[in-house]
Amino acid sequence: MSAIDMTTNIESTMNINVMYFASLADEANCQQETVSVQQDTSLTELYEQLSQKHRFSRPQSELRVAVNDYFAKWTDQINDGDSVVFITPVAGG
């Protein structure tokens, strides 16, 4: 069972708001979505699941991740209600 699917046990899941930018927004074909994942899902697992769903072309190794509008480590825990953004290589300046 994919962790993205809604489960019947509400206690064991958390809702994560995922925003997409740049090529990930193109590939996901949306700006944001709220996904329900199992408690203790890691950021790495979250990206893997969403990558399968949207067929993202970039491996996680090329990305950074932000949680609640701050850069985070891939090993940081996420919690119900958190906002997560996967950051493709930036191109400012």
Partner 1 sequence: MTDNVHDHSMSIKRSADEAYLIAERDGFALLDIAIDEYRLKSTLDNDSCGAFVCFEGRVRNHNNAASVDRLTYYGYEDLAINQGRAIIEEAKKRFEITHAIAIHRIGALEIGDVAVWVGVVSAHRYPSFDACRWILDTIKADIPVWKQEYYEDDSSKWLSNNG
Binding site residues, partner 1, CB under 8 A = 19-23, 25-26, 28-32, 66, 69-71, 85, 87-93
Choice between 14 and 87, CB closer to partner 1: 87
Residue 36's identity, in one-letter code, is S
What minimum distance in Å lies between the beta carbon of 12 and partner 1?
Answer: 29
CB 34 within 8 A of CB 18: yes
What minimum distance in Å lies between the beta carbon of 86 and partner 1?
Answer: 11
Q: Which residues contact 52 (CB under 8 A, 6 or more apart)?
A: 2
Distance between CA atoms of residues 82 and 43, nearest Å? 11
What minimum distance in Å lies between the beta carbon of 91 and partner 1?
Answer: 4
Choice between 1 and 55, CB closer to partner 1: 55
Choice between 8 and 59, CB closer to partner 1: 59
The burial class, CB within 10 Å (0-12 / 13-18 / 19+), for 4 is middle
